[in-house]
Amino acid sequence: MTTSTILLDGSSLSRAQVAAIAHERARIALDPAQLARVQQAADFLADKVSCGEPIYGVTTGFGSNADKLLGAHRARDELPGGNPEQRDGTLMEELQYNLVVTHAVCVGKPFAPEVVRAMLAIRVNTLMRGHSGIRVVTLQALADLLNHDVIPVIPEKGSVGASGDLAPLSHLAIVLLGGGEAFVGGERLPGAQALQRAGLKPLRLSFKEGLALNNGTTQMLATAALALHRMEQLIRTADLAAAMTLDAFAGRTGALKPEVHALRPHPGQVEAAANLRRLLAGSSLADIPYHLVPRFRTWLASSWNHAEDQSARFDISWDYVPPAQRHGKESFYARFLPFKGGKKHQPQDAYCLRCSPQVHGAVRDAWAQACRVIDIELNAVTDNPLIFPQMENAAVIEDQVVSAGHFHGMPLALAMSYLKAAIPVLASISERRLNKLVDPANNDGLPAFLIGNEDATDSGFMIVQYTAAALVNDLATRAHPASVYSIPTSANAEDHVSMGANEARHVLEMTEDLSHVLALEIYTAAQALEYRQDMLNAARRLAARGDWRALAAKVAGAPAEGHADYAQFQAEVTALMQALNDAGEFRAGDAVRKAFAAVRGVVGFMQRDRAMDAEVRRMCELIASGALLA
DSSP secondary structure string for all residues of 246-312:
HHHTT---GGG-HHHHTTS--HHHHHHHHHHHHHHTT-SSTT--GGG-PEEE---TTS--SGGGTT-
Write down the pLDDT at residue 336.
Answer: 95
Look at residue 83 and tell me whether its pLDDT is greater than 80. Answer: no
Write down the pLDDT at residue 307.
Answer: 57
Q: Is the pTM of this model over 0.75?
A: yes
Write down the pLDDT at residue 353.
Answer: 97
pLDDT-based confidence at residue 80 (cuts at 50, 70, 90): low
Write down the pLDDT at residue 58.
Answer: 78
Look at residue 59 and tell me whether its pLDDT is greater than 80. Answer: no
CATH 1.10.275.10 at 5-75+86-216, yes or no: yes
Phi, psi (degrees; rounded to nearest 5) at 380: -110, 160
pLDDT higher at 493 or 396: 493
The CATH fold assigned to 229-368+417-625 is Fumarase C; Chain A, domain 2 (1.20.200)
- The C-alpha atoms of residue 445 and residue 443 are separated, in whole angstroms, by 6
pLDDT-based confidence at residue 305 (cuts at 50, 70, 90): confident
Write down the pLDDT at residue 251.
Answer: 96
Q: How many CA atoms lie within 13 A of 540 on its CB side?
A: 16
Coil, strand or helix at 110: strand
Helix axes 267-280, 356-377, angle to 10 degrees: 120
pLDDT-based confidence at residue 86 (cuts at 50, 70, 90): very low
Which residues, other chains included, contact 606 with Cβ-Cβ below 8 Å and sequence gap of 6+?
450, 451, 460, 461, 527, 612
Same fold, 5-75+86-216 and 229-368+417-625: no
Is residue 42 within 8 Å of 136, Cβ to Cβ? Answer: yes
Per-residue burial over 118-145, b = 16 or more CB atoms within 10 Å of its CB, e = otherwise? bbbbbbbbbbbbbbbbbbeebbebbbbb
Find the catalytic residue in 56, 320, 418, 531.
Answer: 56
Choose among 620, 514, 616: nearest CA to 234: 514
C-alpha radius of gyration, the chain, whole number:
32
Domain ranges of the chain: 5-75+86-216, 229-368+417-625
- The C-alpha atoms of residue 427 and residue 518 are separated, in whole angstroms, by 7
Look at residue 54 and tell me whether its pLDDT is greater than 90. Answer: no
Look at residue 538 and tell me whether its pLDDT is greater than 70. Answer: yes
pLDDT-based confidence at residue 490 (cuts at 50, 70, 90): confident
Average pLDDT of the segment spanning 220-241: 98
The predicted-structure confidence for 32-43, as pLDDT tens digits, reads as follows: 999 999 999 999
Look at residue 468 and tell me whether its pLDDT is greater than 60. Answer: yes
Across the chain, mean pLDDT equals 93
DSSP summary character for residue 132: S
Look at residue 206 and tell me whether its pLDDT is greater than 80. Answer: yes
Helix, strand, coil fractions of the chain, as percent rounded to 5:
55, 5, 40
Decide if 56 is catalytic: yes
Q: What is the largest CA-CA distance in the chain?
A: 118
- The C-alpha atoms of residue 183 and residue 576 are separated, in whole angstroms, by 68
Average pLDDT of the segment spanning 306-330: 86
The predicted-structure confidence for 568-597, as pLDDT tens digits, reads as follows: 999 999 999 999 999 989 999 999 999 999
- The C-alpha atoms of residue 98 and residue 491 are separated, in whole angstroms, by 18
The predicted-structure confidence for 551-564, as pLDDT tens digits, reads as follows: 999 999 999 999 99
Question: How many other C-beta atoms can be found within 10 angstroms of the C-beta atom of residue 259?
Answer: 6
Question: How many other C-beta atoms can be found within 10 angstroms of the C-beta atom of residue 196?
Answer: 15
Is residue 337 within 8 Å of 574, Cβ to Cβ? Answer: no
Question: How many other C-beta atoms can be found within 10 angstroms of the C-beta atom of residue 117?
Answer: 26
Average pLDDT of the segment spanning 491-495: 86
Average pLDDT of the segment spanning 137-151: 98
Q: Lowest-pLDDT range, 61-70, 223-232, 334-343?
A: 61-70
Write down the pLDDT at residue 491.
Answer: 85
Average pLDDT of the segment spanning 519-524: 98
Judge if the upstream peptide bond of residue 385 is cis by omega within 30 degrees of 0.
yes
